[in-house]
Chain A
């Protein structure tokens, strides 16, 4: 039976270029072909969060690329933030980022996380996660569809290894 998982999207080209510059050879050796993801909600409406959940499902099947969510920032390589960075979550974001070991990356997912989106200028939001932590990759959209988030994450992998990214072989 044909698997329901989507074929793989191309890594976002600009992301690859930007990230390659930041990654040195040592990081590539250390991390190999897998990245541990850590989600920090930064006050989104739930749209980006729902699309991240979809990535874990059978249709997008994140784990076949060596991408997986972990429950501790200490074991995470990539912090995924969704939301305009509300004042009430700034400390949680800062603590999560500080707890991650180098090398580490931050991906802002969705228009809110990029620059505050429609909530820009509110007394309760800082206007994008870049205000509090250095951001390596922006995935725009409101919310960005799962394929675009996946494409962004694959650019992290591509920038992070010399070989072509390919889904792991399935057991027949």
Chain B
């Protein structure tokens, strides 16, 4: 029996818009990557959850019960489960039996409790030394989490053989804020503030995915005007974040860097005029929007979009071949971790949550790709995607439906899951409501899979190229630190 058949033959729990299959433990052990791909993995107090797609692209949400704190690990067969299994162990205390990496991930031994999401917390343990993967006889170079220059926290442990990085290991968890526990017991409207603060450069995407998951759980639809304005905000965010990531990557090209930064600032200012916040934080809420677009907003956004569209050809030219041939994602690593987002599209894989599974207001289109899988492809594709986002944004601003931008939320229970394509790739939000309040929630940023891809792409690179490789990926820190 294929893995997809195993999942589909399991008993079903009500979850919208996709059912959740409750796979028995003995069957869970038989799931294999031959015909399903693992996109996200998380838990609640009683079960672990896995989001698969079948070979035909069907979404298969599966869960299996945790017995006596144990569940059978997926990580020996699914590389995209390795980091999430460590996170599940730290937050809920569920042990992955046969898991490939038992080291803690988010828990640095410094919290006031252990297993903060379990029904019964454990006592604080005290800080422990982290066991980096060791390579004998090579010089180790530690970088971060504090750099002095403005940046989010991450630690890189580089093993250097002369000028070459034999391996680069990323350690995260520094920005762990306990977001999931803070969301628990809150109404979706209140909890939206936490979803909006998972990762500021994808705040709209996380807010949209969270809102759509809550709306699915409550079985309501936001008004059409809100849906289209969410699209406007999401594309404005993609433009601003792509520009910001390019600024960070193009430090060696000061003139280009200046122009990109200037355009980013104009986009942020027009977002302030249109939605009252530069990053559009807290603008998207379950049920619709926190408020309508402001009177001068459409004009401001259009003016900035026209200016940027006119200069894009120059920016593309200015970028030249920066990053050519460096930081190539190995095809095997891309395949094992399941292609996601801009990094995959810059490696020729046409994956985009706006198209598959797709969600409103996006029209059907073929996601653009570039061959190469190197830093250059990732940087160039960002400029190309800005062109597409500008077109969508201008189309929608010219055809906004009239009507309200939010609707009231019923105090019901239910389980929902939804996706939104952030500037980095697909973000999935899942939640279960009990009497209108959040009983359990999870947010899967694409960076859970992008970090291991970046490590694979960095191995064998020149030390001098590591910064550019890191910036061409621009993986979320806070977004995976939760």
Contact = CB atoms under 8 A, between A and B. Distances in A.
Given A50-B201, A84-B177, A124-B176, A43 B478 contact: yes
Interface string A66-106: 00011111001000101110111111100010000000000
Interface stretch (A16-24, A33-41, A132-140, A158-166): A33-41
A10 B268 CA distance: 22
Contacts of A56: 150
A59 B265 contact: yes
A47 B193 contact: no
A36 B418 CA distance: 45
B111 interface: yes
B193 A118 contact: yes
Given A54-B261, A57-B247, A124-B116, A76 B148 contact: yes
Interface of B: 108, 110-113, 116, 127, 145-153, 173-179, 181-182, 193-194, 197-201, 203, 244, 247-248, 257-258, 261-262, 264-265, 268, 272, 278-279, 281, 476-479, 481
A143 interface: yes
A122 B199 contact: no
What is the predominant secondary structure among interface residues of chain A facing chain B?
A: mixed
B203 A83 contact: no
Contact of A89 (B175, B262, B281): B175
Given A43-B153, A53-B248, A88-B108, A122 B181 contact: yes
A56 B257 CA distance: 11
Contact of B182 (A4, A57, A72, A122): A122
Contacts of B481: 43
Given A123-B178, A143-B200, 11 more contacts: A41-B146, A43-B174, A51-B278, A53-B244, A55-B150, A59-B262, A72-B148, A88-B108, A88-B176, A123-B181, A124-B176
A86 B152 contact: no
Contacts of B264: 54, 57
A45 B150 CA distance: 13
Given A50-B244, A142-B281, A88 B148 contact: no
Contacts of B272: 145
A44 interface: yes
Contacts of A55: 150
A63 interface: no
A50 B174 contact: no
B112 A39 contact: no
Nearest to A56: B150
Contacts of A143: 200, 279
Interface string A96-130: 10000000000000000000001101111100000
A46 B258 contact: no
A27 interface: no
A131 interface: no
